[in-house]
Amino acid sequence: MALFAYKVVNNQGIAEEGVREALDQQTLVRELQQQGLIPIRVVPAQDKSFLGFKFKSALVRLNQKEIGMFTSELATLLESGLPLDRSLTILMQLTEENPKLNKLCADVLEKVKAGKALADALESRQGVFSKFYLNMVRAGELGGNLGGVLQRLGEHLERSRELQETVSTALIYPAILLVMSLASLFVMLTFVVPQFKEMFDSAGKALPVPTQIVVGLAEFLQSYWWALLLFVLVASHVFKSQMADPVGRKVWHSRFLHLPLFGEIILNKEIANFSRTFGTLLGNGVSILNSLAIVRETVSNMILADILEYAEMQLKEGKTISDALAQQNLFPKLAVQMIKMGEETGRLEEMLIRVATIYDKQLRTTIQRMLAVLEPALIISLGLMIGGIIVSILLAILSVNDLAF
């Protein structure tokens, strides 16, 4: 899901602007048209372009931790028996040190006092709350159990945040190690090797082949470092352009899923997120078709989103979700069989939560296995490259000494 800023004309001919989350620009355009609006402009909200350079938008958004805090604290107040308006008033006082959260509470309270339902008040804060979140709140209001639903929603958000942080934290050390490795090689080639070059040149003897390769690489980096930097910038721009295009993004998402280890991590993360979100929605009274449509929009990988769209179409034709997923040959057989068992026994919600738990554990196991392979591989690679540079210099020094004697 991405955040887009849009400008539309309503049925009264009045221009409106706003910000909303959607899978891509085309999806948002269709949603706006279905609401009877005429889209004039739909652009990514997080970036603004000037002369080809990207700058961050001034749009202020709540992060996942702040949304989770708002949800859990509001649930606690409602579960203690306080009415909604009183709970929001207390929550405003508790969040005075967080201006963004405090403003959210004030805006929602104002709309609730004006007679709006909580889900409608939250929906007016476009781009902050996902459709999944809003439908959960709406189901809680309709069922008369808003506090309990918010409590489960807060737990869901916390688990999702922990899952995301697990992946992010696991990749920090390999990323630092990779950057330090490249920096060490750059320093060796641009500052250390050139110190020996003058001595090699004055010797008047042909250098060994390994030394010639290292010296040539050092000279290239000294003379054309800007070309390397330009290549990285151009490659980054091309990648961003392809990711901004739905067709190009789908191609890359397919490649990501087929990467060794990383593909397994992405798949396990998406399946855990899909299963938990789907199960949570079903458990709070949202219909299976609406739940599947909402879950499809929470999936970040377009290949998996297409599979869920196919499952939604098959479900409308009277077929089962498990059969539709099995036909696509991407979802693991264990997940498909557990979903099928849940459909046959009428315990789909329970089985989906179990699937989420299983793939949470598999995700952590896969990350640990990846780190067990990646970290030593990076260290050994760095050692071999630096060792190769040192050996090539020593070979040249020995060659010069032989010439002297």
Gap between the Cα atoms of 295 and 346, Å rounded: 20
Gap between the Cα atoms of 212 and 197, Å rounded: 10
Neighbours of 358 (CB within 10 A): 18
Q: What percent of the chain has pLDDT over 90?
A: 4
pLDDT classification of 228: cutoffs 50, 70, 90: confident
Could you read off the pLDDT of 78-104 as tens digits, one per residue? Answer: 888 888 888 888 888 888 888 888 888
pLDDT of 61 reads 65
pLDDT classification of 230: cutoffs 50, 70, 90: very high
pLDDT of 51 reads 35
Query: Distances from the Cα of 376 to the Cαs of 179, 185, 364, 368, 372, in angstroms?
Result: 15, 17, 19, 13, 7
48 has a pLDDT exceeding 60: no
Q: What average pLDDT does this structure show over 26-34?
A: 80
pLDDT classification of 351: cutoffs 50, 70, 90: very high
39 has a pLDDT exceeding 80: no
16-20, 76-80, 207-211, 325-329: which has the minimum mean pLDDT?
Answer: 16-20
pLDDT of 1 reads 58
252 has a pLDDT exceeding 80: yes
DSSP 206: P
Q: What average pLDDT does this structure show over 144-168?
A: 80
CA nearest to 153, candidates 134, 166, 125: 134
pLDDT classification of 50: cutoffs 50, 70, 90: very low
Q: What average pLDDT does this structure show over 213-222?
A: 82
Most confident of 116-130, 223-237, 366-380: 223-237
pLDDT of 233 reads 92
pLDDT of 35 reads 80
